[in-house]
Amino acid sequence: MALPPPPGYYVPAVLFFDANEDFDVPAIQSHVLRLAQGGVTGILVQGSNGEAQHLSHDERKEAIRLTRQTLDDNGFKHVLVIAGTGAQSTRETKKLCVDAKEAGASHVLVLTPSTWPPQMNVDNIIRFHREVADASPLPYMIYNFPVVTAGIDLDSDVLSTLAQHPNIVGTKLSCGQIGKLQRLASTFPSTEFAVFAGRSDFFYTSLLAQGAGLIGALVNVLPKVHGRLLKLHQEGNFKEAMALQAKLGHADWAMQKLGGISGVKAVVSKNFGYGVPNVRGPLKPLTIESLVGNKHANTVEELIALEKSL
């Protein structure tokens, strides 16, 4: 029986590049280790923050392998590696799922194809995910992120239908819809179909709504702070948890305003001493110098001080 990843907090890890846009292996390894040391339950390789669509098949497979090996070599075998395997054709998506297993992932996370939005009606969306899930050698999760799928937004009825497939074990909701999350989480036990918030700005709210946890970009910067929030929730400390969630909500918004993927890399490079904020075109790089005096960077750095104290 296919099982979902366990409840907790996961990170769609950024991938560091050198000046030639090749893998910066030492920086990637440093990042993976800092995240693992920060207590993450797992690392998502090639989520939207991992620039999956900018990589070749061989690079996508190597990024998974490198992450798994780095964890294993440093005593973090318990930290899961989930692979983003979304592509624009059913055939390619199936191939990427096979590659993910060969490279050491435990689960796959799949976006809905979006090159031809008018043709992606409900029946075709369901057919696509079922067909790929049938072929996937790993337990399968559905990634709902309308921003990167031309506005395609899977509702709770569609996701509930797909949840009944024996190899479909969860979803990441980057749509930010807490009502959708609660409907799903109250219908399916997290041991069968895990429903994860896809953004830090509703992490705690999702936990209160019976969600399985978080797969969120801000964890790249603040893994320990997210672990602190989860612990406060588990202890029933509502007041302190809500106060910390408010700060994470402001920081999550600030990171979006800083420029997304390159912004994450710039903040990490500036504050933790590895990597440079190179991205693959057409994304635009953000310089570390541009963070100085930036109000959004200052908002995030207030929580980085807490991160470093934990």
The full 3-state SS of the chain, as one line of letters, equals CCCCCCCEEEEECCCCECCCCCECHHHHHHHHHHHHHCCCCEEEECCHHHCHHHCCHHHHHHHHHHHHHHHHHCCCCCCEEEEECCCCCHHHHHHHHHHHHHHCCCEEEEECCCCCHHHCCHHHHHHHHHHHHHHCCCCEEEEECHHHCCCCCCCHHHHHHHHCCCCEEEEEECCCCHHHHHHHHCCCCCCCCEEEECCHHHHHHHHHCCCCEEECHHHHCCHHHHHHHHHHHHCCCHHHHHHHHHHHHHHHHHHHHHCHHHHHHHHHHHHHCCCCCCCCCCCCCCCHHHHCCCHHHHHHHHHHHHHHHC
Catalytic annotation, pick one of 9, 10, 143, 204: 143
- The catalytic residue among 61, 94, 172, 224 is 172
172 counts as catalytic: yes
Q: Which residues contact 119 (CB under 8 A, 6 or more apart)?
A: none
Q: Which of 250, 209, 217 is nearest to 233 (CA)?
A: 209
- Asked if residue 205 lies in contact with residue 249, where contact means CB atoms within 8 angstroms, the answer is no
Active site residue 101: no
The token duo for 223 is: 């893994």
215 labelled as ligand-binding?
yes
Binding residue ranges: 215
Binding residue ranges for pyruvate: 215
Q: What are the residue numbers of the active site?
A: 143, 172
